[in-house]
Structure 1
Amino acid sequence: MENKKIEQAYQNTFSGLTMYYRDCELSEDLVTRYKVDQIIQERGFTDISNQAEGLAKNVRFAIASNSASNLGEINPDVAKYGFHLIPSGAYFKVLDIYKIEHKTQIMLMHFNEAYLEIFNSTKSNIEDKIVLVGRKSLDTKIVMQPHSILNNEEWTARTADPIGMSKTGTFFL
């Protein structure tokens, strides 16, 4: 693989990364299906928040992305959620699965489909740094109270499903 294409993929993926979050309640069977370095695709839209405190659910998806759309700018009614959206058909790489007691954080990196081959066959030290940031974040937030607005009925219904797989555990990719 040519270095110029790898460099372009890294520049376009890692530049301006922001952390987003999605908490949900998943069975241990679904959680254990995720594997580090696995590439997954979400067929639906990925609803996420730029806000995170303690976990009220057993799983937190921590997603590093530089291309999530801020829906609060479009619809002020959803700004309270820190609501961001990743379009349907998005690709993610599982960077880490981090457990603290009965809580699990699944760290995902969002990337463009054009770089599928690259992220399927390479690993960057930047990915390792993202993992460290994610773990430190969870270590800090796990002792906090859950954010009340992100645990209301409307938001938890939007974010109840796993990312990249059906409710029954079949991966889309």
Structure 2
Amino acid sequence: MAFFRKKFPMALFLVALGSLALAEVETPSSSLPTAPREPQVPQGAIEEEEALEEGEATEELSRQFRLGEPGLSGVIVDRTITMMGKTFYRRFSQLSSESHILSSTTLSVHERPDARWGSQVWVAENNRILFQAALPPRLSDIDRYAEAAVEQVEQLLVQRSIMQALESDPDLADEEI
């Protein structure tokens, strides 16, 4: 108890001094420099600016990544196994890179090897077979097959694009026609 009697007046003084310090409001003097205040912007203007920035960002993303278009085009996927199949794929891809029609189409070249009859090769787009042939066992004949494959695939793609242009029905999807 004696401890509280000795220290109580001092504690009361500190509490009173602290409350006075908190209650006193400092006003900046005119001689001291103050930080400039930001101008008050209406809330509606901020929302419009954010919407404008968001629209510009979406535009930029769609321009960079072309979100409305498929990801890759003009790709030829190699699904061959044997040396004959790889040779056919190399020659087919070389010839198709020169063609404007095939350079904008995604194709895949598949092979089913057969030791007795030669390899069976087919070129497909979206699981639709556009060309199919049995490669002979001789490598020298493969170039002719690749040239024939490029011609046939080009012809089928042109025919299909013409048919789609003539039979465009907005009520039906591509597979429903």
TM class by smaller structure: under 0.3
What TM-score, normalized to structure 2? 0.25
- The answer to which structure has the higher helix fraction is 2
What TM-score, normalized to structure 1? 0.25
Larger RCO, structure (CA 8 Å, separation 6 or more) = 1
- The answer to which structure has the higher strand fraction is 1
